Amino acid sequence: MIVIGGGLIDTADLWWGRLDKTLREMTRKPIIIEKAKIGNRVGIIGAAYLAKGIEMI
């Protein structure tokens, strides 16, 4: 499974179909591509987790 998020997801309508087709052509294994449920907030959420981890040290 491939999960894509961040700002890139805001433009998915421009490239999602082409990505899906290309990946399926590259391998015979089943590939699942999903949009991250947190969408474009992934960067800020990751930064918050990182800051929390650093604060705990």
How much is the pLDDT for 15? 95
**Dihedral sign of CA atoms 24, 29, 30, 35 in order:** negative
AA identity, residue 13:
D
CA quadruple 20, 25, 31, 33: dihedral, nearest 10: -10
Rounded to the nearest 5°, which phi and psi values hold at 28? -95, -10
pLDDT in tens, 1-57: 888 888 888 899 999 999 999 999 998 888 899 888 877 777 788 788 888 875 433
What is the structure's pLDDT at 54?
59
Residue 33 backbone dihedrals phi, psi, to 5 degrees: -115, 125
pLDDT at 22: 93
Beta-carbon neighbour count of residue 42 at 10 Å? 18
